[in-house]
C-alpha cells in the first residue's frame, strides 16, 4: 500500500480539509512513492493562522537559541543523509550521488544559519549630536511564504527556511507536488529538532490552489519563490499590487566559454557535469558552450564522443550517469526543442530523442543531446530548455565570447576555461551574471556566498550567505538621547 503523508499545521500532522489526495510516482519506474494531501485555501489559511500566532513568541526567543534548534536539525539531517538521498532519487530522479549532494547542501545551509543566530549583526555609529547613541538592529519580517521547485527539493527549501527561521520569522512552506517526500523529510527533521508548533507549516498541493492563497493572504508578509520565469513574473505583479516584498529566483541560460588556451580535458569534464548533471534540470545548467574557433572542431568531436557514452537509467543504479526527467510534460517540452533547433539550422550531433525501451520503458528518459553549429540568437541558445541538452557556439575572441554570454535574457551563472590569468580577470569583470566560475563548470555554488543572478534570473535578491539575512529581515534604526534636552538633528542652533 502506498504510504500516506499529511500536512504539518500548528505542530500537528493533518489531512487536507477536503480529504482529497494526490500520488507521486517515481519518474524512472512509474511506481508510486507516496500519497499526499491535495490542499485547498482552507488548509493554507489554517497554516497562515498558525504561523501568525507562533511568530509572536518565536521572534522573542533569543536568536542564539533559535540557532541551537537549527544546529540540532543539521545533526539529524546528517544522521539521515543516506535515507533522505534515496527518497529524493526515487521521487524526482537525479542519480544517487547527486541526491546525496542535495541533502548535503541542506545540511551545510542548516549548520551555517545555525551559526548566524550568534552573528545577526547590526551596526553602531557615532551620532552627529552629543550625548546621543545611534545603532541599527535587524527585525524579522513576520510570516514568510516559501514556494519551492522539485529539482533541488532539500537544498532550495533550506536556503529559504533556515535563514527565515534563525532571524525570527515563521514559515508557510509549499513544496512542488513532484518532490513532496523530501519536503516532508525536511519538516519532520525540524519537528524532531524541537521547532515550536506553528513556526514551520507544510502545505502540500497544486500551485493554483495553495501558492495563490499564500501569496494573496494579508498575514503573509514576504514571498520567497524559486521557479520558472513565467510564474515568477506573475507573482511579482501580484506582490506589487499587494505592496508585498518578494524574492525571486527564476532560472538561467548559462554558458561555459572555452578559449583556445584552455585545458580541454578539464573543460570537457566541466561541460559534461554542468550540461548533464541532474539531467540538465538545474537553473545553473550549462545549456550553451561558447568555443573559440581554433579549438571548436576538436572540442565538439570530443564532447560528442563523451556524451554518447553516458548511461541512462534509474538514479539508484550505481552504473547510471543520467537519470530521468521529472515528468511527462517536461519530457515533451525537451523533445519539442529538437525540431526547433533543427529548423533554426543547428546540427543535432548526438542524442535528440526520448529513450523508452527495455528497462527505461516506464520512465521519462531523454538522451543526452549536443547541438553543434548553433548561433547566439537561435531559440536553443536563448530559451531555458531544462533538460539534458546543450548547444555549441563558435566565436573568434574573448570579447565576442563575453558578448554572446551576456546576450540572453537571463544572468545566473557563467564559466570560462583559460590558462591566461589576464583573460580570466577580464572575463570575471565583464561577465554579467551573479555567479562566475574560472576553470570550473557553471554549477557548484557554496552556501556561504550569495546565490542569484541578474536580468530575468531574479529581482535583485540573493539567497545563501549573509545576503540571505537581508531578504528575511527589516532594518530598524535606534537613537538613544541621554542629553536630557531636546536636540534637533540637522537644525542649526
**Residue among 115, 123, 133, 202 at smallest CA distance from 468:** 115
Residue 95: helix, strand or coil by DSSP?
coil
| Annotated catalytic residue 429 | no
**Residue among 392, 378, 285 at smallest CA distance from 339:** 378
Instruction: In whole angstroms, give the CA distance from residue 71 to residue 458.
Output: 30
Long-range pairs, 232-236, Cβ under 8 A, ≥24 = 235/147, 236/459
* Cβ count within 10 A of residue 423: 18
* Residue whose grid cell is 557615532: 126
Instruction: In whole angstroms, give the CA distance from residue 148 to residue 146.
Output: 6
| Annotated catalytic residue 396 | no
Catalytic residue among 249, 308, 383, 446: 249
C-alpha cell of residue 490: 540637522
Whether the CB-CB separation of 388 and 366 falls below 8 Å is answered with: yes
Instruction: In whole angstroms, give the CA distance from residue 34 to residue 289.
Output: 39
Catalytic residue among 283, 361, 400, 493: 283
Instruction: State the Cα angle at 148 between 142 and 153, rounded to 5°.
Output: 125
Q: Find residue 133's DSSP bridge partners.
A: 126, 480
Whether the CB-CB separation of 94 and 321 falls below 8 Å is answered with: no
Instruction: In whole angstroms, give the CA distance from residue 386 to residue 399.
Output: 27
Strand 347-350 to strand 369-374: parallel, antiparallel, or no bridges (unpaired)? antiparallel
* Residue whose grid cell is 576555461: 417
Q: Is 423 left (phi over 0), alpha (psi -120 to 50) or beta?
A: alpha
User: Which DSSP category does 102 fall into?
Assistant: H
The residues carrying an active-site annotation are 249, 283
Amino acid at each position: 500500500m502506498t504510504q500516506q503523508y499529511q500536512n504539518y499545521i500548528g505542530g500537528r500532522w493533518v489531512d487536507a480539509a477536503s480529504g482529497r489526495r494526490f500520488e507521486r510516482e517515481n519518474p524512472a519506474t512509474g511506481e508510486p512513492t507516496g500519497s499526499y494531501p491535495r490542499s485547498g485555501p482552507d488548509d493554507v489559511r489554517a497554516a497562515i493562522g498558525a504561523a501568525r500566532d507562533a511568530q509572536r513568541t518565536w521572534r522573542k526567543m533569543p536568536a542564539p537559541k533559535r540557532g541551537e534548534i537549527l544546529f540540532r536539525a543539521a545533526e539529524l539531517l546528517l544522521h539521515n543523509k543516506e535515507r533522505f538521498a534515496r527518497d529524493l532519487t526515487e521521487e524526482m530522479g537525479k542519480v544517487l550521488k547527486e541526491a546525496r549532494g542535495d541533502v548535503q547542501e541542506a545540511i551545510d545551509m542548516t549548520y551555517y544559519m545555525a551559526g548566524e543566530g550568534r552573528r545577526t549583526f547590526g551596526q553602531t555609529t557615532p551620532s552627529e549630536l552629543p550625548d546621543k547613541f545611534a545603532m541599527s538592529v535587524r527585525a524579522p519580517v513576520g510570516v514568510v511564504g516559501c514556494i519551492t521547485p522539485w529539482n533541488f527539493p532539500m537544498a532550495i527549501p533550506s536556503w529559504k527556511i533556515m535563514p527565515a527561521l534563525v532571524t525570527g520569522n515563521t514559515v508557510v512552506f509549499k513544496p512542488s507536488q513532484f518532490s513532496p517526500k523530501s519536503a516532508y523529510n525536511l519538516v519532520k527533521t525540524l519537528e524532531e529538532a524541537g521547532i515550536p508548533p506553528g513556526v514551520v507549516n507544510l502545505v502540500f498541493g497544486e500551485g493554483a490552489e495553495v501558492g495563490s492563497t499564500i501569496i494573496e493572504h494579508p498575514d503573509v508578509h514576504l514571498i520567497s519563490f524559486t521557479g520558472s520565469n513565467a510564474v515568477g513574473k506573475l507573482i511579482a505583479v501580484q506582490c506589487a499590487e499587494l505592496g508585498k516584498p518578494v524574492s525571486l529566483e527564476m532560472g538561467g541560460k548559462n554558458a561555459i566559454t572555452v578559449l583556445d588556451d584552455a585545458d580541454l580535458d578539464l573543460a570537457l569534464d566541466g561541460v559534461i557535469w554542468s550540461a548533464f548533471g541532474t539531467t540538465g534540470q538545474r537553473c545553473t545548467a550549462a545549456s550553451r558552450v561558447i568555443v573559440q574557433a581554433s579549438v571548436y572542431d576538436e572540442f565538439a568531436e570530443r564532447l560528442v564522443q563523451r556524451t554518447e557514452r553516458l548511461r541512462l537509467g534509474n538514479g539508484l543504479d550505481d552504473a547510471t550517469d543520467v537519470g530521468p526527467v521529472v515528468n511527462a510534460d517536461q519530457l515533451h517540452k525537451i523533445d519539442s526543442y529538437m525540431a526547433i533547433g533543427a529548423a533554426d539550422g543547428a546540427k543535432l550531433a548526438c542524442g535528440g530523442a526520448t529513450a523508452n525501451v527495455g528497462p527505461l520503458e516506464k520512465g521519462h528518459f531523454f538522451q543526452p543531446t549536443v547541438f553543434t553549429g548553433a548561433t547566439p540568437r537561435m531559440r536553443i541558445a536563448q530559451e531555458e530548455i531544462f533538460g539534458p541538452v546543450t548547444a555549441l557556439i563558435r566565436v573568434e575572441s574573448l570579447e565576442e565570447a563575453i558578448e554572446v554570454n551576456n546576450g540572453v535574457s537571463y544572468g545566473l551563472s557563467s564559466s570560462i576555461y583559460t590558462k591566461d590569468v589576464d583573460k580570466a580577470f577580464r572575463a570575471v569583470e565583464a561577465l554579467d551574471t551573479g555567479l562566475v566560475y574560472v576553470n570550473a563548470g557553471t554549477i557548484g555554488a557554496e552556501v556561504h556566498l550569495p546565490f542569484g543572478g541578474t536580468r530575468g534570473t531574479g529581482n535583485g535578491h540573493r539567497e545563501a550567505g549573509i545576503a540571505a539575512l537581508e531578504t528575511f529581515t527589516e532594518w530598524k534604526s535606534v537613537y538613544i538621547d541621554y542629553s536630557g534636552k531636546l536636540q534637533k538633528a540637522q537644525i542649526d542652533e
